[in-house]
Structure 1
């Protein structure tokens, strides 16, 4: 399972509705292989979707997340926005000094 974040810039002053993650989850297909999705507003004018995908590789997970996001935008299941970036979040490991 891989975590992938999709970053969006809104086309105007738009807020994600309450329960956006559940609304998005209801729009997914079993073939999308999404285990969980969350939605977070990042003011001003941005939001992030986080997907946990069941895929064989990170590359496949990122590609699938991008395809899902483009489909959701085309189907107007997301606020008017531009998809800016899709990828695994980079986390710096905590190393002893």
Structure 2
């Protein structure tokens, strides 16, 4: 059997609430606010970036069917923190 390789804890510079810019991919150049960060997986969820459409089936009278837009997490290596000028 293979031994599991331990990954060293990398100190992430991206924190919840920061404004970041996407460096590569289909959303390159877009900016957004970080909603959630997964440090062990090196992923971050950015508002309005890396969106996809999910088709939802109708579930009774209260929940109509249709298309819902959701955000997917991005690799933190594709993000750059934008420093805002403080007053």
Q: TM-score, normalised by structure 2?
A: 0.31
- Higher RCO (C-alpha 8 Å, min separation 6): 1
Q: TM-score, normalised by structure 1?
A: 0.29
Higher strand share: 2
